[in-house]
Amino acid sequence: MTKGAAWYSKIGTEKSKGTKTFALTGKIANSGLVEVPMGTTLREIVFDIGGGIKGGKKFKGVQTGGPSGGIITEESLDEPITYESLQALGSMMGSGGMIIMDEDDCVVDIAKFYMAFCVDESCGKCAPCRIGTSQMHDLLEKITRGNGTEDDLLKLEKIGKAMTKASLCMLGGSAANPTLSTIRHFREEYLEHIRDHKCKAGKCKDLVVYSIDPAKCIGCGLCARKCPVPCIAGEKKTPHVIDKSKCVKCGECYKACKFGAVVKN
């Protein structure tokens, strides 16, 4: 303020001037608020300032712009961040949120989470947003439950594009961003849920199967004591076994085992 607009305009890029504050969060080593000159790359923000991914995990993507922002992947990390570049990448500056995702995040689950938020936030005044957000949420739910089809993927794209064009305000106009950008960048991951009924990240509860590796199990019995059903059996000091027909997939055994013997597939 004291140095004036001309001085401030020297910071940043030709069209996006000055600085921008981002709320850096998610799977990042150093989370918090960062203020950077416009035009700073995502790589500098995530890896230099943010210290990279927590626990040495692999970077998967970054969601910018809050619940209606798109997901930006590895190949765009060197893109200078401006209002225009984020839009060109299918995302937006929005509130300045920057959520980092690693290899343990499931993009379908994330898209569903943000769509649920938009279903709640939609005021209902226009049909593309009121009906479209619910329809997209139902389709994403169907896919995370392992009942999705490839046709559902096409429907998601079709409804998402229609909402983007026809909604009255930017809530509906941007609500499809997380879904459309994840389908564009991670189509294979959607297809794994649809064709193979698998969620590699282990986030979609209905698609996860828990079992015990007999080579690693020492028969301590801790998992059986934690199991709420109970559906884990075995004698002391002998490998235990999960009755998959009774398992409610709560994940308590996985968290409890200190020997890495419970396997999540």
Name the residue nearer to ligand SF4 (CB basis): 37 or 173: 173
Member of 38, 140, 201, 242 binding ligand SF4 (CB under 6 A) = 242
Instruction: Render the burial of 185-216: b for 16+ CB within 10 Å, e for the rest.
Output: bbeebbebbbeeebbbbbbbeebbebebeeee
Distance between CA 146 and CA 115 in Å, rounded? 18
Structure token pair of residue 160: 């998402």
Instruction: Render the burial of 91-124: b for 16+ CB within 10 Å, e for the rest.
Output: bbbbebbbbbbbeebbbbbbbbebbbbbbeebee
Cα diameter, the chain:
77
| Spatial contact of 191 and 199, defined as CB atoms under 8 Å apart | no
The reply to whether 23 sits near ligand SF4 by the rule CB under 6 A is: no
Angle (deg, nearest 10), helices 187-195 and 177-185: 90
What does DSSP assign to residue 227? -
Name the residue nearer to ligand SF4 (CB basis): 51 or 230: 230
| Spatial contact of 221 and 236, defined as CB atoms under 8 Å apart | yes
Member of 33, 154, 169, 233 binding ligand SF4 (CB under 6 A) = 169
Binding residues for ligand SF4, rule CB under 6 A, total 40
Rounded to 5 degrees, what angle do the CA atoms 248, 26, 112 make? 50
Mark the segment that binds ligand SF4 (CB under 6 A) among 27-35, 92-100, 125-133, 134-142: 125-133
Member of 145, 241, 251, 263 binding ligand SF4 (CB under 6 A) = 251
Name the residue nearer to ligand SF4 (CB basis): 3 or 258: 258
> In whole angstroms, how close is the CB of 153 to ligand SF4 at the nearest point?
23
Contact mark string toward ligand SF4, 71..100, x via CB under 6 A: ------------------------------
Residue 255 φ/ψ, nearest 5 degrees: -70, -35
The reply to whether 130 sits near ligand SF4 by the rule CB under 6 A is: yes
The reply to whether 221 sits near ligand SF4 by the rule CB under 6 A is: yes
The reply to whether 176 sits near ligand SF4 by the rule CB under 6 A is: no
The reply to whether 29 sits near ligand SF4 by the rule CB under 6 A is: no
Q: Which residues contact ligand SF4 (rule: CB under 6 A)? A: 122-126, 129-130, 167-169, 171-172, 210, 212, 217-223, 226-227, 229, 231-232, 240, 242, 247-253, 256-257, 259, 261-262
